[in-house]
A and B are shown apart, each in its own frame.
Chain A
Amino acid sequence: MIVNVNRFKCGYCGACVGVCPAGALELIETWIEVDTTCTGCGVCAKICPVGALELNEK
């Protein structure tokens, strides 16, 4: 997983899911799941209204 979701910050609005070019994100009830197709492009982290997503430093 290249993107980390801080689920204590996340407002589970799904905006990140809408911008993910890889379709790697999914909003399930009150949390975001990231699958293995994540490329680490960071668009989700950029547009998150509360800043709940961060790219893993590697």
Chain B
Amino acid sequence: MKNKYDVIIVGAGPGGSITAKTAASGGLDVLLIEKRQEIGDPVRCAEGVGKDALKKHIEPDNKWIASEIKGSKIFSPDGTEIKMSEDASSGMKVGYVLERKVFDRVLAQEAAMAGAEVMVKTRATGLLRSNGKVTGIKAMYMGETHNINADIVIGADGIESKVGRWGGIDTALKPNDIETGAQFLVSNIEPGDYNQFYLGDNYAPGGYLWVFPKGKHMANVGLGILGSKSGNVRAISRLHRFLETYMPKGKIVEMVVGGVPVSGPIKQTVADGLILVGDAARQSDPLTGGGITNAMDAGKMAAEVCIKANEKGDYSVKTLKEYEDKWRSTIGKELSKSLQVKNLLVKLNDEQLNQLAHSLDGIDTSKMELPSLLFALFKKNPKILWELKTLFV
């Protein structure tokens, strides 16, 4: 560890590692820190990811792909099935279920190979400042605190992000802005090769329950409920109940818990000498909860702006704002659309959700992606879905 870097990245998830890799490849002096002893573990993720979005960043490798997915099946509360996202014409698989423990390590390894320094068991405990600007971090390693200087600090520190708060950006999530979830890796089942989503109050109020296959006999079985609907019955209890009823032979070989930001775009993600990336910037999708590739996209954008800032020698908001503009006009737009759909969906009762599913009787949804499925639903159910009209003009 040196006492000065061009960029320090806090958090070695996919967002942090892509930031580190891109910045180091661009010639910057980079430190990537991870507070855990092990990168990628414990997992806090359902591990589903779209193939195309992922391929922009890394060539798929079987050592971190647990399953290839044919498509998705959504089940309404009464069990009506909507099959979608199949790409039968080419026989291509549309998505992966990852092995995050391996995937995250590979990304950190790529950052290291690109020249970034990596430190594990190293936790940021505060920011260094000079004249109101962020100039580095205080970090604890093995019980000792070190001051490490940097021109830019990147907060890629996830749902529990403190870097933004220390920098004056309020990232606190309200109960409506978080899905609180639990997941078991369930063995001794046959999950097939579709990702399955179950809707309804019986499964997951204000969220959904998922079954994501990991190989032939295992799956990530989890659920997320809207924070405002959590309380008396916990995510973990609901999940136990589901398993007992629907997968009585299933055996739990791993437990995962976690929260997913579903706030949509927050007001501010940069300050002087500071950038937020990924879940820390609340860039996960409010509808699906997916955040891996958004974080990776944002990380790349952030690093490219760091490279420019380094050339100019200006690390103020004036320069860093380019990152903010760029992610808002891309990722941010999608987040806003998803937020609009999420805000409506969480208001619908089981009967309305069933009605939506039944309205697709006779329509072939199997090749549709989410936007075209929503449009098909809108055409059939303008009354229920009227507030989504702005999405389709």
Chain A residues with CB under 8 Å of chain B are 11-15, 17-21, 23, 25-29, 43, 46-51
Contact = CB atoms under 8 A, between A and B. Distances in A.
B172 A15 contact: no
Given A18-B261, A19-B175, A49 B159 contact: no
B158 A14 contact: yes
A47 B158 contact: no
A28 B44 CA distance: 15
Contact of A47 (B162, B171, B182, B259): B259
Given A14-B158, A23-B162, A27-B160, A51 B261 contact: no
Contacts, number: 88
10 contacts: A11-B255, A13-B159, A14-B44, A14-B160, A18-B171, A18-B178, A21-B172, A43-B174, A46-B175, A46-B230
A27 B161 CA distance: 10
A22 to B, nearest CB: 8
Given A14-B160, A28-B123, A49 B178 contact: no
A13 B257 contact: yes
A50 B182 contact: yes
Nearest to B125: A26
A22 B85 CA distance: 42
A28 B121 CA distance: 10
Given A23-B165, A46-B230, A47-B259, A29 B36 contact: yes
B104 to A, nearest CB: 16
Interface of B: 35-37, 42, 44, 123, 158-162, 165, 171-175, 178, 180-182, 227, 230-231, 234-236, 255-259, 261
A18 B160 contact: yes
Contacts of B231: 46
Given A13-B258, A18-B161, 4 more contacts: A28-B123, A46-B175, A46-B231, A49-B235
A47 B255 contact: no
Given A47-B180, A47-B230, A18 B259 contact: yes
A20 B181 CA distance: 17
A36 to B, nearest CB: 16
B297 to A, nearest CB: 21
Contacts of B172: 18-21, 23
A21 to B, nearest CB: 5
A43 B160 CA distance: 14
Given A13-B44, A18-B172, A18-B173, A49 B181 contact: yes
Contact of B182 (A12, A20, A26, A49): A49
A26 B231 CA distance: 21
Contacts of A12: 42
Nearest to A51: B234
A21 B261 CA distance: 15
Contacts of A18: 159-161, 171-173, 178, 259, 261
Contacts of A28: 35, 123
